[in-house]
Amino acid sequence: MSHPSSVHDAKARLREEMRGRRAALEEQARAAAADAIARRAILIISALKFDAIGGYFAVRGEADPRPILAWAERTGITCALPSVHGGYDLVFRRYRSGDPLHAGSFGIPSPAHDAPAITPDLLIVPLMAFDRTGARLGYGRGFYDRTIAHLRNHGVDAHLVGIAFAVQEVDAVPTEAHDARMDFIVTEKETIDLTVGKAKG
C-alpha cells in the first residue's frame, strides 16, 4: 500500500508534467479540440436527460466547456458555474451567456454572489490528467472531491463528465480513497464510458 506522502509526491510530479503537455498545444489545435470535445459531450447529455449542468470557466489552458454550456442553454438546460464558498467548497450558481463574472478565488471568473445557487445533476469536471479507470488528477485543493461527496451525502448522485485533451491521458493516476472517479471521460478523440455495469442512484 502506498504511503500518503508518496502519493502526494507522485501527484505533484504528474501535475507538472501535465502542465507542460497542455502548454505545448497550439492555440488552433486547442480550439479545434474543444469543439470536438463539445460534440462528444453533447451526445452524452442529450441521450441522458439532465435538468442542470455545472460547468467551469477554463483557465491555464484547460479544455473549454463553453460550447457545451452554450448548447445546453439553447436547449433549456439550466447552467451553472462554480464559486468558492468559505474557502473550501464549491457552490454552483446560475449562469447565462452574457452574465457578468467577477474574479473569484484564485482569480477564476465566477458568477455574482447573489446569483441563485443551483444543484446540478451533471458536472463537467476539468481534468489535469486521467486514466481509463475514470481516475482524475485535479489541482490538489480537493474542491471537486468535497463537492461531489457533499452532493452524494445529500442524495444527489450527479453524473460526472470529465473533459480533457487526449495528451493528458496516463497509464495510471495516483489516487487516494477520497478521489472521485468519472462516469465519462471525453477527449477530442474519444468518449470513455465508465458507466457500464455501474449503478447510479
Domain boundaries, the chain: 4-193
pLDDT digits (tens, 9 = 90+) for 160-192: 999 999 999 999 999 888 889 999 999 999 999
pLDDT confidence of residue 105 = 67
How does the average pLDDT of the chain come out, rounded?
89
> Is the pLDDT score of 98 beyond 80?
yes
Tell the CATH topology of 4-193: Rossmann fold (3.40.50)
> Is the pLDDT score of 84 beyond 90?
no
- Of 59-68, 82-91, 157-166, which has the strongest mean pLDDT? 157-166
| pTM, full prediction | 0.91
Answer yes or no: are the C-beta atoms of 49 and 19 closer than 8 Å. Answer: no
pLDDT digits (tens, 9 = 90+) for 134-160: 999 998 778 899 889 988 988 989 999
pLDDT confidence of residue 1 = 43
Answer yes or no: are the C-beta atoms of 160 and 127 closer than 8 Å. Answer: no
b/e per residue, 107-128, with b = 16+ CB within 10 A? ebbbbeeebeebbbbbbbbbbb
